[in-house]
Structure 1
Amino acid sequence: MRVDESNEGQEAPPQNMLPTNQNGRQAAVVPEEEATHSSESGPSSSAIENLQPTNNTGRLHNWQATKTTVKERLSFLFNNEILCDVHFIVGKDANQQVIPAHKFVLSVGSAVFDAMFNGVLATKSDEVELPDVEPAAFLHLLKFLYSDEVRIGPESVMTTLYTAKKYAVAALEEHCVDFLKSNLGTDNAFLLLTQARLFDEPQLAALCLEMIDKNTADALNAEGFTDIDQDTLNAVLERDTLRIREAKIFSAILRWSEAECIRRQLPVTPANQRMVLGRAFNAIRFPLMSVEEFAMGPAQSGLLDDREIVQLFLYFTVNPKPNVFFLDTPRCCMTGKELMVNRFAQTESRWGYSGTTDRIRFAVDQRIFVVGFGLYGSYFGPTEYEVHLQIIHLATKKVCGSNTTTFCCDGTDDTFRAMFKEPVEILPNTSYIASAKLKGTDSYYGTKGLRCVTVDCNNGEKVVFQFSYAAGNNNGTSVEDGQIPAIIFYT
């Protein structure tokens, strides 16, 4: 509150399915459906219509005359018995398919095929069995080698990428990865990350991780999350850049462990869930939870033993804090550029503290992640403050983030950083209370406050903050003047 001066004193082949990102862009390739009805069925009826066999061999006479370019002639030979000198028996069981091809064309397009047909250990057989390759994916590969045409879709991109890598056709690999990038979204980020790791595609893996970092809650809630492998789960949980509260991560790994128990045909019990999680369980940062979150979730889950529960409750409630077996490093190494909204135009002195909390209500027009507040420091000179920070969801009164910490000031009227342990997710068009309870000497305070502040982001976007009075006892802080002059955040 304002003080009167006069009173100074946070390798099997892949699955043949890619979940479609509803908001993804369409890749610049020929739709897969067209391939089904044209390329894979050999010469079209119009191409054959006037080319009737003229001898007893059944070969088409002078078909070359109707093809005016090399590309047209080679494309005509795709999946065609004419001049073929090798047959591939692709797939297995009911899905098996015999596909004709031409050794010369394949050798020109692939070093693997060149070695297969012309190397020191070249095959002598005119039939080659490929049980680990999907027929549709192999046809996509051949179509590319014969005509440079790319025909992939969500249903076949993974198997086509597998086949392109198997036969070292780098250009088709690149097309597949580009298609995956353009269709990357929160609904398939975990599945694509799994495949990117399997196929050793570091650039795609990095994009998937960035998507998961920025949209952690949505990615964890996606249907495909429970299908990922354990190595991928470990790789994600060990990151410092996830933008989500630890309690929600714990809920997500419970779902994954239930699915993994079912996959391994084990009863879904707490003991089995912890067993299948392995080292992923130790990547959960229980100390980052509030005592309420821990008590309502992990403490009652059965996954922690009695000693761990007691140690964590002691960690939450006593000082000095005991050693625990779980990381307490905040997940706050956010990606992108740190941003700050300042709500005051002028600084005055002075503001006093008597155990009352300074509070201001705010809302934003898009989702952000708050990592701390900028606070005013001492009017008298360098000193240290103890502060308890909170962000509270106004409608439910739920504490979304809190931390008790200290900050030092130098006696100037600048703002000084007081940070949360981990980023606090702020949803768009939702009212929150920013709260700071300071313990220390009188400080500077802000005046000429603004109700609406627009922050320019480095990506060309803007974030609009709306500030309003927080009803109740707030130590005098309001829109017009008071504490909590700045909110530090990431988009």
Structure 2
Amino acid sequence: MDIREWMAVNYLKLNDSKTEFLAIGSRQQLQKMPPGITLKIGTEDVKTSNSARNLGIIFQSNMSLDEYVKSLCKSCFFHIYNIGKIRNFLDTETTKLLMQTLTMLKNKESSGFVDDWQSGKTVTECNLRMLDTEDFSDVTFRVGSEQQAVQAHRYVLVSRSCVFHAMFCGKLAEKEEVSIPDIEPNIFKEFLRFVYTDKADVSAGTVTGLMYTSRKYSVDALFYECVMFLETCLSESNVCQILEDCHRYGELDLEQKALMILTKGGEGVVRSPGFAQLCSSCLEKFLKSENLKSKEEDIFEAIVSWTKHRCLQEGVSDTPENRRRLLGDLRYEIRFSSMPLDYLLTVVGPSEVLTDRERFRVIDRRVNSHVDISPFKDIQRRESNHCTEEPVSYRYVYRCRDYGLTALHSGTHAISFSANQDIHLKGCQLYGACFDETYTLTIKVFDSSHLKIAEPLQQVKTVLEGENQPNDIPFPSSLLLISGATYTLCVDMDGPDTYIGWEGRDKVIADGIEFTFNTSSMATSGTTEKMLKCNKLVKGHSQILPARKIELGTVVWKQQ
């Protein structure tokens, strides 16, 4: 049979111009051959050669391997010479192992050895190797802002995604390179790894990007794997990084969930490494929240760390001017009036986040509630005092010597009070009726300028126990009250007539703290400091609780 026909039957192609003709025999036999013998291969006349390469081995007409040995030795010497250049940095055993490995590998390559890498591997393992080596890849993606090239195989992509099927099949199929500027290279490579193997490294650093990519290319299995990760692994330690990725990829639902954890988290959130990586937009959402559980001091220190990191990113000096420039109006969201005076003097002042004039006003406000510090926020966050880990014990400061059932005029029940030490208002006590009844409560706290500083309860329905039993009304979070400043507690209470306290004292001393009570001009129902709806203030480690129609008879407080 003709050689060409035989090769065609076996799906091989004969390259006429590269064919070599080798006559093999002993020296005597080769000398007897007539000169100029040729072999007709297609249109080419192939002459005899002294040597020819087959499967990496150089064969010679006299069956000698001299030329092959010379070629192999030359190649090995080249690698050994290169090893010699770094010999001083290697010990003897490492050098020996390296030389042997390189020599054996070169020998294997030169011998035409076929690497049977498929042996013993599963389909997914073989797919992964094809992806890593890019063997026979037939599509190129340009990924990310720098358009990094990523190779893949159309067959695999089309078999796994309807989006890729539409992209590569049909009349409008992509013929050239595919540009994907909205996905980072590391995310896209991890996505391809899942497409090829059904496995991906889903972590805090990749989950948002993988969710976005899997949704874009309709790979539902990966999307649900990301959802499972978030349901089990989203925490205070990684929420900042995930929130930032959500903002970048536009994952609004996940962003809201991450933002909730960010604001509800405590010290662990603001001290996590990812907090300094937040963009200005995410930081603004955090600072404007009224439900932060972190102490304002921890928030301030995290903000200073954030400005230092941004200065480093922008390549500018960490100066007070740059700190204020980077924060802009976000400085006004920091509740400086909630910080202790010694902290303002020893930490906030030296940081120079505030100008001298701003610092003086904030400090004056700390000792004089009439000082206006706008545009800085002066309303305390609702959750800011819940971050202490130590248990707090509360004590009650009783004001009223007697009580009775009466009907007060409808309207606002209010009483003014002050303390000679810093305290945290924690709640109040309210009397109920003769029997258990349901009431709708709205409670507000005002400063001496009648500026509302908090609204702990708003149209909240609750059942108050009857039979002259005072009922604890705890606030969702405590309110820092400054020593010497006068505050007014207002209660709007819809429901049946209730008991009230009588003969309320003007001054009450508890654990060395003096409380002073006065009639408030904001009361429209007839409440006075002598006739109170709130029986007592509850006090403890640092908090105060007035009561209903406002018998601030009892104050719940926690000492500062």
Q: If the TM-score is normalised by the length of the shorter chain, which range does it land in?
A: 0.5 to 0.7
SS, match of residue 241 in structure 1: coil
TM-score, length-scaled by structure 2: 0.49
- Assess, with a 3 A threshold, how the Cα gap between structure 1 residues 319 and 242 changes in structure 2: closer, same or farther: closer
2:140 corresponding residue in structure 1 = 88
Higher mean C-alpha deviation, range 242-251 or range 264-273: 242-251
Higher mean C-alpha deviation, range 251-260 or range 82-91: 82-91
Match of 1:123 among 171, 174, 193: 174
1:148-297 to structure 2, matched below 5 A, reads: 148-153=198-203, 156-157=206-207, 159-297=209-347
SS, match of residue 175 in structure 2: coil
Q: Distance in 1 between matches of 2:220 and 2:513?
A: 56
Which structure 2 residue ranges, 5 or more long, are not aligned?
Answer: 1-115, 405-413, 433-467, 482-509, 518-528, 543-552
Question: 2:358 matched to 1:308?
Answer: yes
1:327-338 to structure 2, matched below 5 A, reads: 327-332=377-382
Question: 2:509 matched to 1:439?
Answer: no
- Assess, with a 3 A threshold, how the Cα gap between structure 1 residues 416 and 199 changes in structure 2: closer, same or farther: same
Count of residues paired in the alignment: 342
Q: Distance in 2 between matches of 1:101 and 1:288?
A: 60
SS, match of residue 140 in structure 2: strand
CA apart distance, 1:403:
4.0
CA apart distance, 1:274:
0.5
Q: Distance in 2 between matches of 1:218 and 1:435?
A: 35
- Assess, with a 3 A threshold, how the Cα gap between structure 1 residues 190 and 143 changes in structure 2: closer, same or farther: closer
Which structure 1 residue ranges, 5 or more long, are not aligned?
Answer: 1-42, 49-71, 339-363, 391-400, 424-432, 447-466, 471-482
Q: Distance in 2 between matches of 1:140 and 1:434?
A: 63
Match of 1:386 among 411, 417, 421: 417
Q: Select the structure of larger CA radius of gyration.
A: 2
Q: Distance in 1 between matches of 2:138 and 2:556?
A: 71
1:293-442 to structure 2, matched below 5 A, reads: 293-322=343-372, 324-332=374-382, 367=389, 376=398, 378-381=400-403, 384=415, 386=417, 388=419, 402-403=423-424, 412-415=468-471, 417=473, 420-421=478-479, 437-440=514-517
CA apart distance, 1:270:
0.7
Q: What do the CA deviations read for 1:87-131 (whole angstroms, capped 9, x no partner)?
A: 23566999966534135x534643542342246643223x54657
Q: Distance in 2 between matches of 1:160 and 1:44?
A: 30
2:501 corresponding residue in structure 1 = none
Q: Distance in 2 between matches of 1:287 and 1:319?
A: 10
- Assess, with a 3 A threshold, how the Cα gap between structure 1 residues 243 and 45 changes in structure 2: closer, same or farther: same
- Assess, with a 3 A threshold, how the Cα gap between structure 1 residues 121 and 155 changes in structure 2: closer, same or farther: same
- Assess, with a 3 A threshold, how the Cα gap between structure 1 residues 133 and 318 changes in structure 2: closer, same or farther: closer
Supply the AA of the counterpart residue of 1:239. Answer: S
Supply the AA of the counterpart residue of 2:239. Answer: A
Contact 2:425 2:556 in 1 (8 A): no
SS, match of residue 309 in structure 2: helix
Contact 1:375 1:416 in 2 (8 A): no
CA apart distance, 1:190:
1.1
Q: Distance in 2 between matches of 1:147 and 1:159?
A: 18
1:67 corresponding residue in structure 2 = none
Q: Distance in 1 between matches of 2:425 and 2:384?
A: 21
Contact 1:243 1:369 in 2 (8 A): no
Contact 1:78 1:142 in 2 (8 A): no
Q: Distance in 2 between matches of 1:187 and 1:222?
A: 6
1:99 corresponding residue in structure 2 = 151
Match of 2:191 among 132, 141, 146: 141
Supply the AA of the counterpart residue of 1:273. Answer: R
Q: Distance in 1 between matches of 2:209 and 2:157?
A: 19
Contact 2:157 2:165 in 1 (8 A): yes
Q: Distance in 2 between matches of 1:154 and 1:405?
A: 38
Supply the AA of the counterpart residue of 2:223. Answer: E
Q: What do the CA deviations read for 1:180-222 (whole angstroms, capped 9, x no partner)?
A: 4433333222111111222233443344334333432121112
- Assess, with a 3 A threshold, how the Cα gap between structure 1 residues 231 and 147 changes in structure 2: closer, same or farther: same
CA apart distance, 1:327:
1.2
Supply the AA of the counterpart residue of 1:173. Answer: F
Q: Distance in 2 between matches of 1:369 and 1:120?
A: 70
CA apart distance, 1:389:
9.3
Tell me the percent identity. 23
Q: Distance in 2 between matches of 1:137 and 1:318?
A: 55
Supply the AA of the counterpart residue of 2:300. Answer: F
Question: 2:161 matched to 1:110?
Answer: yes
1:45 corresponding residue in structure 2 = 118
Supply the AA of the counterpart residue of 1:283. Answer: E
- Assess, with a 3 A threshold, how the Cα gap between structure 1 residues 368 and 186 changes in structure 2: closer, same or farther: farther
CA apart distance, 1:273:
0.3
SS, match of residue 402 in structure 2: coil
Contact 1:386 1:406 in 2 (8 A): no
CA apart distance, 1:289:
2.2
Contact 2:297 2:339 in 1 (8 A): yes
Q: Distance in 1 between matches of 2:352 and 2:186?
A: 47
Supply the AA of the counterpart residue of 2:400. Answer: S
CA apart distance, 1:484:
8.3
Q: Distance in 1 between matches of 2:513 and 2:397?
A: 9
